[in-house]
């Protein structure tokens, strides 16, 4: 069985698939790839199932040595890709020979890249998923030098041709469905004037900008939280829950961002302008 041996883990590289489903009632977050279309596209190039596990990189890429011939593809945030120092295509299937080092460099745009391998990253699943969950600690730990990741058996023939994915946003536009507590604020729903905060992570996209002002005092009991929920903590700055979000929370939820908009949020760098677009339904 082929393995990927980690030579350079990058700032934060984790194993991700499409996440854990049906276990939120146990207090287990969903986890999974933040940019699902990019993961699915990489797997399509290799003939994998859409949710096969891959490596999710953060800004600085990753380098791995392969112990047997494999076919790989890199999607998500555009970045230089090299095999033994030689440039190879991004967004296409690439053959890598035994002992070669595949390196994904620093992202030129966006934040999160996906390095998929034919057969998928075959670490043991936990509660039905191979995803690393940074909030609960379930799944494999973030990559470290020397880690050895098994590769599964390749499946169907890879798709022909390149993939088409939207580029990272110059301005992040997030639709906002009404939340259960939008009447708790004088200036809800939030709209423009925000930027993506550097404190953003896999748990949540945090914002900088005009704080929302409470129209009513008081606290809430903890309630169930969903992917894309927009909570407003005491500082008044909206927080958009991403894949590793907690399953419960006690701050008011002013709205919910539709799942289809969250891939762009995953690729928005700190400082990116952000506008919420209030809608009544997502199409």
Residue range 208-235, pLDDT digits in tens: 999 999 888 878 888 989 999 999 999 9
Could you please state the CATH topology (level 3) that the domain comprising 172-278 is classified under. Cyclophilin (2.40.100)
Using a cut of 0.75, tell me whether the model's pTM lies above it. Answer: yes
pLDDT number for residue 18? 97
3-state secondary structure the chain: CCEEEEEECCCCCEEECCCCCCCHHHCCCCCCCCCHHHHHHHHHHHCCCCCCCEEEEECCCEEEEECCCEEEEEEECCCCEEECCEEECCCCCEEECCCCEEEECCCCCCCEEEEEECCCECCCCECCECCCCCCCCCCCCCCCCCCEEEECCCCCCCCCCCCCCCCCCCCEEEEEEECCCHHHECCCCCCCCEEECCCCCCCEEEEECCCCCECCCCCCCCEECCCCEEECCCCCCCEEECCCCCCEECCCEEEECCHHHHHHHHHCCCCCEEEEEECCCCC
Q: Which two tokens stand for residue 31?
A: 């986890």
Residue 264 pLDDT more than 90? yes
pLDDT number for residue 169? 86
The tens digit of pLDDT for each residue in 64-96 reads 999 999 999 999 999 999 999 999 999 999 999
Q: Where in the chain is the domain with CATH 2.40.100.10?
A: 172-278
Residue 30 pLDDT more than 80? yes
pLDDT number for residue 105? 98
The per-residue pLDDT of the chain, averaged, comes to 93
Residue 5 pLDDT more than 90? yes
Residue 158 pLDDT more than 90? no
pLDDT number for residue 282? 63
Instruction: Give yes or no for a contact between 267 and 76, defined as CB atoms under 8 angstroms apart.
Output: yes
> Within 13 A of 114's CA, how many CA atoms are on the CB side?
38
Share of the chain above pLDDT 90, in %: 78
Confidence at 34, pLDDT banded by 50, 70, 90: very high
* CA distances in angstroms from 143 to 56, 63, 93, 126, listed in the order given: 10, 11, 23, 17
Span 102-129, mean pLDDT? 97
Instruction: Examine residue 281 and say whether the peptide bond preceding it is cis (omega within 30 degrees of 0).
Output: no
């Amino acid at each position: 069985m082929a393995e990927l041996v980690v030579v350079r883990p990058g700032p934060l590289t984790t194993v991700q698939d499409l996440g854990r489903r049906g276990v939120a009632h146990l207090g287990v977050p969903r986890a999974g790839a933040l940019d699902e279309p990019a993961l699915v596209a990489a797997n399509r190039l290799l003939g994998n199932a859409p949710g096969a596990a891959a490596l999710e990189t953060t800004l600085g890429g990753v380098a791995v040595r392969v112990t047997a011939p494999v076919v790989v593809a890199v999607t998500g945030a555009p970045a230089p890709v090299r095999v033994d120092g030689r440039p190879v295509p991004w967004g296409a299937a690439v053959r890598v020979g035994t002992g070669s080092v595949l390196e994904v460099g620093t992202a030129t745009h966006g934040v999160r890249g996906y390095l998929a391998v034919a057969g998928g990253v075959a670490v043991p699943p936990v509660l039905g998923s191979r995803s690393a969950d940074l909030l609960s600690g379930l799944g494999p730990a973030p990559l470290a030098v020397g880690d050895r990741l098994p590769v599964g058996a390749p499946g169907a023939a890879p798709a022909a041709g390149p993939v088409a994915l939207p580029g990272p946003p110059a301005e992040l536009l997030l639709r906002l469905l009404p939340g259960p507590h939008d009447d708790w604020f004088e200036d809800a729903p939030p709209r423009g004037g925000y930027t993506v905060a550097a404190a953003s992570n896999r748990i949540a996209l945090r914002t900088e900008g005009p704080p929302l002002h409470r129209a009513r005092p008081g606290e809430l009991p903890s309630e169930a939280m969903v992917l894309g929920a927009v909570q407003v903590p005491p500082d008044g700055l909206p927080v958009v829950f991403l894949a590793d979000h907690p399953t419960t929370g006690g701050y008011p939820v002013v709205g919910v961002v539709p799942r289809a908009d969250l891939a762009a949020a995953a690729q928005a760098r700190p400082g990116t302008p952000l506008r919420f677009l209030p809608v009544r339904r997502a199409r």
